[in-house]
Amino acid sequence: MKIWATWVTTGVLLFAQAASASSAVDILLKEYRAAGAGPFSADAGQRMWNEKYNHAEVPVERSCNSCHTSNLTDSGRHAKTQKLIKPMAPSVNARRLTNIREIEKWFMRNCKWTIGRECSAQEKGDFLLYILK
């Protein structure tokens, strides 16, 4: 009986966490669609994630995987500060993709740093599907 109760509680918690990552993503995708973007593709997101970008100000190539690695379930390391970055995948880090403001803030910073410009609604939607997968 006790084991059963623990089981149910764990199941409910897992579900609640998964639901919050996907509900934040749902809200953002809706917003991006309203801006004319879509359909979105996790494959396109993965390609962009691993692409190497060269932009005028920087001598070295930059990529999303420079800090986050190309395996979303692994921890990353900040390319400049060497600080540890927790895994991106909501499946191993339940806090990921749960806070819309944080997501947009980091998209803004990281797209500018990596690609040299802001990401479009299409690109952000593709990244989100890839990270959520």
C-alpha 97/C-alpha 107 separation (Å) is: 11
Residue 40 near ligand HEC by CB under 6 A? no
Q: How far is the CB of 113 from ligand HEC (least distance, A)?
A: 5
Residue 28 near ligand HEC by CB under 6 A? no
Q: How far is the CB of 65 from ligand HEC (least distance, A)?
A: 8
- How many residues touch ligand HEC under the rule CB under 6 A: the total is 22
Residue 132 near ligand HEC by CB under 6 A? no
Q: How far is the CB of 6 from ligand HEC (least distance, A)?
A: 29
98 and 24 Cβ atoms separated by less than 8 Å: yes
Residue 102 near ligand HEC by CB under 6 A? yes
Q: How far is the CB of 112 from ligand HEC (least distance, A)?
A: 9
Q: Which residues contact 12 (CB under 8 A, 6 or more apart)?
A: none
C-alpha 87/C-alpha 62 separation (Å) is: 19
Question: How far is C-alpha 90 from the geometric centre of its chain's CA atoms?
Answer: 9
Q: Which residues contact 31 (CB under 8 A, 6 or more apart)?
A: 121
Q: Which two tokens stand for residue 72?
A: 């979303």
Q: Point out which residues bind ligand HEC (CB under 6 A).
A: 62, 64, 66-68, 78-80, 85-86, 96-97, 102-103, 106-107, 110-111, 113-115, 127
